[in-house]
Amino acid sequence: MIDRETMRSLQMLSKLKLEPQEEEELASQLEQILEYFELLAGYKTVDTDLKMALDPDDLRPDVPESSFTRETLQSFAVELQDGHLVVPRILEKHDE
């Protein structure tokens, strides 16, 4: 089971701020994910040749498509500085 201390550490590392109900829900979901990984760990995959399992004809064609214009992307921005998107700092700056 994922305890509160682990959840607090995960929130700090991911820069999330969760309400107590959200924290419980996420802890439950993470436990399900970990249980699934434990299930997958039981399968033998050492001698599997993944190249033989993939048929190139099954892949979608790689066709270039149009994308958003710079102006459209900038219209979604909360903050712009000199034409660039401003995003929150995710790494802390430490003085040496």
Instruction: Kindly list the domain boundaries of the chain, sorted by start residue.
Output: 4-41
**pLDDT at position 19, please?**
92
Cβ neighbours around 85 below 10 Å, total = 12
**pLDDT at position 37, please?**
93
Q: What pTM was computed for the model? A: 0.48
**pLDDT at position 50, please?**
67
Q: What are 6-40's pLDDT values in tens digits? A: 999 999 999 889 999 999 999 999 999 999 999 99
User: Tokens for 49?
Assistant: 């040749």
Q: What is the mean pLDDT of residues 53-77?
A: 87
pLDDT of 62 strictly over 80: yes
Banded model confidence at residue 54, pLDDT cuts 50, 70, 90: confident
- Contact status, residue 7 vs residue 27, Cβ threshold 8 Å: yes
**pLDDT at position 2, please?**
87
4-41 in CATH: which number? 1.10.20
